[in-house]
Each structure stands twice: as structure tokens, then as C-alpha cells.
Amino acid sequence: MSLLIGSTTIGLILALLALGIFISFRIFDFPDITAEGSFTFGAATAASLIVAGTNPLLASFIAFLAGMSAGAVTGIIHTRFNINPLLAGILVMTALYSVNLHVMGKSNMPLLSETTVFTWIENLSVSFSGADARTLILGWEVSVKDLWLLAFCFLAITGFGVILWWFFKTNIGTAMRATGDNDQMIRALGVNTKLMIIVGVALSNGFIALAGAMLAQFQGFADVQMGIGMMVWGLASVIIGEAIINDNSVGFVITGAVLGSVLFRLLVAIALRWGLNPNDLKIITALFVFIALILPGLLKNKKLSFKSKANA
């Protein structure tokens, strides 16, 4: 049970990453590789600030801004200098590696004895129900602290999801979505699409950096290599989410990204829990994702015998 809770918590934290990826890949159709750099950038910024004594919430917010600035740079490189989006992302991601080393001053920064957002939540749990309080859920004994962490992550991610959903309903948000869908049309309506792309990619990387900042606080350290592979996982979460929810409206896609992220973590946990040969972990993960992608389609075909609908 505590494994389920822990994995769900990680899934919710990484859902921030999925939301970021969702903005660039899905809203703007912008293949943004900056993610791998900005994820670490957020972690590094938050970690350094926390070690320097900054309030962890403020540090996380600054990490969000830091990620936005990185994304803005990618956006500007792409729109002003007409550089292919992939290449623009690669440039910024590569540069961020050095930036991150400078931000932390070293390649790995422990936060084990620092006060983080999660320490606050743990302290809150302690003040309500005591230091080592445990409770029974369906017969499993779980730590109350872990439940608090889960509840916090759930509320936070719900909050961010609602904000994002609201944002994409506003005028500027609608213009952004339109930029991704049909930029000629929206340009004809007098919207500056270049600005939209810059803001959008910035927003996307802000979320990704926030995910990095949160993960660093959760796991107790920031490492300059922690961003590697993150973009793929984020993308996988978004696509799994789309596959299982199967609806294109903004609210559903956002919900899907969160669900996808959590589901993905649960699948990894299952693969690990079954004690497979560690060398096979990645192929099993890939297999699980594949099944998660095709299963909803298969079920649908059987049940409703509708024409099969291709999923992205």
C-alpha cells in the first residue's frame, strides 16, 4: 500500500512535467527538447536557493520563473532567428548544462538536512497526528506522513490543472491554442503568433522546471544529470493520458496528462515490484506503455464495434 501511495505521489509530482510537455507538444505542436535542461534548471535553482536559506515556496516559484526564462530563450531563438524548433531546444538544453553547474557550483547538491516544501508537510502531519503515526487502509498499515504528502501533491496538481484549464479558456489562452492549430488563420485575426509561441514555450518550461524543483525537494538532492530522459517520460505520460481519455478538449487532455503520469509511475512500480531482471526493466516498461496505449482501443472495438479510431 505504501508503494501505491509513494508511486502515486511521484506520479503527481511528475504530472507537472507532463503538463509542461503537453503545452509545448500538444498546444503548440512544438517539439521542445529544452525540457531536459529546464527540468534540471528548476531543480538546481530551487536547491541552491534552499541551501542558501530561501523559503522553499519562494525558491520553487523562482525555479518556475527560471524555467520560463529558459523556455523564452528557446522561443526567441526559434521565432526571431528562424531556427528549427528541435535545434533551438538542443541549443538551450546544451547551454543549460553549464548553467546548471554554475547555479549549483558543483554537480550534485544534497538537500537531506534542509527544510523543503515537503518537510513542511511532514511537520504539519507530525503536529496533527504525532511523529510516527500510522493508520490502517484496507488492512495495510501506512504512514500518515505519506498520506499527507499524497494529499498535498494531489491538491497542488489539481490546483495547477484548474489554473491551466482556466488559462486556456481566456482570450490569450484561446489565441495560443489557435496558434498551434492554425497559425495562418489566427495571424489573419491580428494575433502575434511569434509572441504566442514564446509565451507558450516559456510557460511549458516553467512547469517543467517546477517539476524538477519539486522532485529535487522530494528526493532530497539535485543532480546535474537528473533531466536526462525526462522529456520522453513526460511525452509518454501525455500520450498515455490521451489514449485512455480519448477526448481533445482542453480540460480532458489536462486530466489525461495527470492520469497518464500517475499510471505510468504505477506501471514502472509494478515492473520493479515483480523483481524482473534489472537489465530488462526498460523493455518491460516500454511493453507496459505499449499495452496501455492499445488497450483502450481494443476494448472499445470489442464493446461498441465502432470503427477504430486512430490515436496519436
Site for other proteins, residues 212 to 271, rule: CB under 8 A: 215, 218-221, 223-230, 233, 241, 244-247, 249, 252, 255-256, 259-260, 262-263, 265-270
Q: Look at residues 145, 113, 112 and name the one whose alpha carbon lies nearest to residue 219.
A: 112
- Separation in Å, CA 209 to CA 3, 194, 230, 284: 26, 22, 11, 28
- Separation in Å, CA 255 to CA 60, 153, 184: 23, 15, 29
Q: Look at residues 156, 143, 177, 152 and name the one whose alpha carbon lies nearest to residue 253.
A: 177
Shortest spacing between CB 82 and other proteins, in angstroms: 28
Among 87, 281, 287, 312, binds other proteins (CB under 8 A): 281
User: Which one, 28 or 218, has the nearer CB to other proteins?
Assistant: 218
Site for other proteins, residues 40 to 99, rule: CB under 8 A: 97-98
Cell of 42: 528548476
Q: To which H or E segment does residue 78 belong? A: helix 56-81
Shortest spacing between CB 155 and other proteins, in angstroms: 18
Q: Is 112 in the site for other proteins (CB under 8 A)?
A: yes
Q: Is 306 in the site for other proteins (CB under 8 A)?
A: no
Cα 261 versus chain centre, distance: 8
Q: Look at residues 247, 237, 283, 269 and name the one whose alpha carbon lies nearest to residue 35.
A: 237
CB 3 within 8 A of CB 269: yes
User: Which one, 27 or 266, has the nearer CB to other proteins?
Assistant: 266
User: Which one, 27 or 292, has the nearer CB to other proteins?
Assistant: 292
Residues near other proteins (CB under 8 A) are 1-4, 6-8, 10, 14, 97-98, 101, 106-108, 110-113, 132, 134, 138-141, 215, 218-221, 223-230, 233, 241, 244-247, 249, 252, 255-256, 259-260, 262-263, 265-270, 272-275, 278-279, 281-282, 292, 295-296
